[in-house]
Chains A and B, each alone.
Chain A
Amino acid sequence: MEHARHVFRVVLVVIVALAAILIGRGFLVPKSHGVFGPYRGDNVVEQMKARPPAHQGAASCTPCHKAKAEARAAGSHKSVSCEVCHAPLLRHVADGKVTGPMPVDKAFTNCARCHRKIQGRPDKFPQVVLEQHVTTRLEGAVCLECHDPHSPKL
C-alpha cells in the first residue's frame, strides 16, 4: 500500500503539471493562432496596415506640377518616376495636404547612379565617362548646368 501511495503521488504531480501546462498554453497562445494557419492569423491584417504607402507614383504629382510632369512624360526620362530623384510623396504630402518641402538630390552623384559608365550596365543604355564628359570641376549639381533633369536631351 505504501508503494502505491508513492506511485499515486507521482502520477498526481504529473497530472497537475500537465493540466497546468495545458491551461497555461490556453492563455498564452493567441486566439487567432490556427485560424488562418499555424501562426497568429490576425498578423495579416496588421501587415496590411503596417504603414501608409510612402511612394505614390508619378501620376500623383501631376495635379500640382502639371508643367514638370508633362515635360517629363515627353522626354527621355519618361520612365523615371519622380520619386527616384525626389523623395517618396509621403514626405511632401499627407492626406492631400502639403506637409513639408520635397527634398531633391541634385548632386552629380545622383545622375551618376544611372549614367556613369561602369561595367555591368547594358551597352545600349546611355552612359558617360564622367571625367571625360564633364570638363569643369566634377562637383555638386554640375550636370544640371547643361541638362534639365525633366527633359535631359540637349
Chain B
Amino acid sequence: MDHAPRPSAAPPPPPPCDAPADAARRDFLGAALQVTGGAVVLLAGLDAAASSEAHHPPPPGGDGYNWEEHRWAYVIDTSKCIGCGSCVRACKQENDVPEGFVRTWVERYISGPGGSYVDSPKGGLDGFPPVPTAFTPTKSFFVPKMCNHCKETPCVQVCPVGASYRTRDGVVMVDGKSCIGCGYCVQACPYGSRFLHPETHTAEKCTWCYHRITKGLKPACVEVCPTATRALGDMLREDDPVRHTIEHERVSIMQGHLLTEPQCFYLHLDMEVR
C-alpha cells in the first residue's frame, strides 16, 4: 500500500511502526462498513415507513374528491351503437389525442354464412361508408372499444419504472413524467388500447376522462353518445344504473380467458368480437 520511497539510511521500519497504520485502516474499514450498513438500514427504514404510510394515506386530490368513495365501471350496449363516431371525435377534442391515434374507437362487424368483414376506418372518426361485401351479410353491428381498465392489468405489470398504475377508484393511467417510452405496455395490452405519443414518446391511453369524472362530469365519450350506448357508473353507489346493469343483466367481457378482469362490460356482444 505504502509506495513512498524511504531514505536508505533509515533502518527497516519496525513492526510497531506499521501497526497503527493497519489499525487505522481496520478502523476506517469498520467505520465505512458501519456507515454503509447504517445507510442501508436507514434507506430500508425509509421505504418501510413509506409503505406503512401507504395503508392509510391521505386521500389525494382534494377538491371534494376521495378515491376511496368511488369504483368506476363502464357498460357498452353494442345493440344501440349506430357507428356515428361522435365518441371518437369527442375523445380526440377533449384529450388532445394526436393525429392518427385514438384512445377509443369503433369497429364494424359484418358477417354471414359466406364470410365476415371487419373495418374501422380512422377508428370510426368520420363515421363509416357503405361497403360492398362478396358474401350476403346476415348480421352487422358496431362495437365501440377502449381501454378495459382491467383489475389484473398486464400493462401495469410489465412497466419497469412504475409509470403505469391503477388507482383505488379503478382507473388505469400512465404517469407521463415517469414513463420512459419503452413500449412494453403497448405490447402487453391484449386490447390494443395504448400507443406511444409521437411527440412526447410516452405511453398514452384512455383515462375514463379522469379530469372530468373527478369533478362529477361524465367522460366525453359518454357525454356525446346520442344513443346512450356508453355509460360510466360507480360500483360503490347502490342506486347507480350501471351497477344495476352489471349486477342484474347478462353482461360479457372482452377476452375473458386472459383473466385480466376488465371493468368494461358489454351487453349483446357477439362471439365474433375479440
Choice from A23, A41, A83 contacting B39 with Cβ under 8 Å:
A23
In the complex, the answer to whether A117 meets B90 with C-beta atoms within 8 Å is no
A116, B130: Cα distance in complex, Å? 8
In the complex, the answer to whether B43 meets A45 with C-beta atoms within 8 Å is no
Q: Give the segment of B193-201, B212-220, B233-241, B251-259 that binds chain A.
A: B212-220
- Does any Cβ of A come within 8 Å of B134's Cβ? no
Assuming the contacts A15-B36, A55-B90, asked whether A40 and B175 have C-beta atoms less than 8 A apart, the reply is yes
In the complex, the answer to whether B108 meets A125 with C-beta atoms within 8 Å is no
| Chain B residues touching A, range | 35 or more
In the complex, the answer to whether A119 meets B140 with C-beta atoms within 8 Å is yes
Q: How far is the CB of B213 from chain A (nearest CB, A)?
A: 9
In the complex, the answer to whether B93 meets A54 with C-beta atoms within 8 Å is yes
In the complex, the answer to whether A43 meets B126 with C-beta atoms within 8 Å is no
User: Which residues of chain A from 13 to 56 have any CB-CB distance to chain B below 8 Å in the complex?
Assistant: 15-16, 18-19, 22-23, 25-26, 30, 33-56
Q: How far is the CB of A111 from chain B (nearest CB, A)?
A: 10
Count contacts on A: residues with CB < 8 A to the other chain. Answer: 56
Kindly supply a per-residue 1/0 record for chain B positions 197-227, scoring 1 wherever the CB is within 8 Å of any chain A CB and 0 otherwise: 0000000000101111011011010011011
Assuming the contacts A15-B33, A116-B127, A122-B79, asked whether A79 and B226 have C-beta atoms less than 8 A apart, the reply is yes
Chain B residues within 8 Å of A, Cβ to Cβ = 1, 29, 32-33, 35-36, 39-40, 43, 46-47, 50-51, 53-54, 57, 60-63, 65, 67, 79-80, 82-86, 90, 93-96, 108-110, 126-131, 133, 137, 140-142, 162-168, 173, 175, 177-178, 207, 209-212, 214-215, 217-218, 220, 223-224, 226-228
Would you list 10 pairs from A and B whose C-beta atoms are within 8 A, ordered by A residue?
Answer: A16-B32, A16-B36, A25-B43, A26-B43, A35-B54, A38-B162, A43-B175, A46-B177, A47-B210, A48-B211
